[in-house]
Amino acid sequence: MPDKPQDADARRAIAPVICYPPETLPQPDMALYRSARAQAEKTHEVLIPAREARCFAVPAGHFFRISSVEGPQVGDLNLWNATDLSERFYSGKTRALHGTHLNISQRLWSSFPALRPMATIIADTLDWYGIDEFGGSVHDVIGTRCDPYTGNLLDSRQYHHCCHSNLTRALADHMGVPLTQAEPLIHDVLNVFMCTGFTRDTGQYFMKASPVRPGDYLEFFAEIDILGALSACPGGDCSSEHSSDSAACFPLLVEVFAPPIDALKGWQSPAPNQYDGSHGR
């Protein structure tokens, strides 16, 4: 081990700089969204069984709500452009733009080259939680999704109800394609209701019991035509295990709401990012 340099403390004391100042991001018109939501009527719903996943569709300009309905349960959310599944939720860029955990008025951004808002959070009954003494908070974009490959790597388990597996089956069923064709489209998630953070001593990703209770919900405005998939995580509230058949698990409910045609006057679905990459070649 090399010796600590004499100026080690001075190096550590350098103040950080925010990589992507949010002030220059396109801002959602929350007053317009809330007004339209107040006039919206429910069009359909999808119940997500415990330890399973289901797909759902949300047209641009509509709203969707994810609710806890029977017990404390977290969910893993994937989003795609409904007409082009190569454009999908980009959790890493969303994390870089907004932070490790999302809250009201923040957006779920899509992958390159589109890089545009797919959905905006408009309501959250867990907004009161904030950041706890352990550094934990809810609705993270740091966890990738529980998956069978990591389980097999760590303890040689063959487990088929990981969120990755659930989302793969749901998308394959929705598209009518083999699992091998659907699996590459599954991507890193928004961990809905999950309470997570990083340990301050080792920097390790941790989870703890979610504060979600029946009746809690997270609600979004769909900025583009969305195909979504939600898995009711086999860890339940993730208080002890990430993927398990023994953890108490419960369904999640997705509801879709349509506002009146004239409720979003002046709003337009965001266009894909206007960067012209041709001049860099």
The single-letter DSSP state of residue 82 is T
- What is the 3-state composition of the chain as percent helix, strand, coil, each rounded to the nearest 5? 25, 30, 45
* Full-model pTM: 0.95
**168-202 residue pLDDT tens:** 999 999 999 999 999 999 999 999 999 999 999 99
Give the strand order in the sheet containing 41-48: 41-48, 252-258, 63-68, 217-222, 117-124, 107-109
Q: Please give the Cα distance from 103 to 248 (Å, whole number).
A: 26
Q: How does the average pLDDT of the chain come out, rounded?
A: 95
Q: Where are the domains of the chain?
A: 46-58+69-102+128-214+225-251
Closest CA to 140 of 101, 113, 174: 101
Least confident range from 16-20, 104-108, 122-126, 218-222: namely: 16-20
Closest CA to 77 of 193, 234, 244: 193
Tell me, what's the pLDDT at 163?
A: 96
Q: Please give the Cα distance from 190 to 244 (Å, whole number).
A: 20
12, 6 contact by CB (below 8 A): no
User: Counting runs of H as helices and runs of E as strands, what totals does the chain give?
Assistant: 6, 13
Tell me, what's the pLDDT at 156?
A: 83
Backbone dihedral region of 269: left (phi > 0), alpha (psi from -120 to 50 degrees) or beta?
A: beta
CA dist list (Å): 155 to 150, 206, 246? 9, 19, 17
**78-101 residue pLDDT tens:** 999 999 999 999 999 999 999 999
**241-256 residue pLDDT tens:** 777 888 999 999 999 9
At residue 104, the 3 state secondary structure works out as coil
Give the dihedral sign, CA 143/146/148/153: positive
CA dist list (Å): 12 to 3, 5, 36, 58? 16, 11, 48, 47
Main-chain dihedrals φ then ψ at residue 67, nearest 5 degrees:
-125, 145
Tell me, what's the pLDDT at 280?
A: 66
- Beta bridge pairs of residue 107: 120
Closest CA to 60 of 126, 137, 117: 117
pLDDT band at 281; cut points 50, 70, 90 = low
The single-letter DSSP state of residue 280 is G
CA dist list (Å): 98 to 25, 171, 212? 10, 28, 22
Q: Please give the Cα distance from 205 to 119 (Å, whole number).
A: 26
At residue 95, the 3 state secondary structure works out as helix
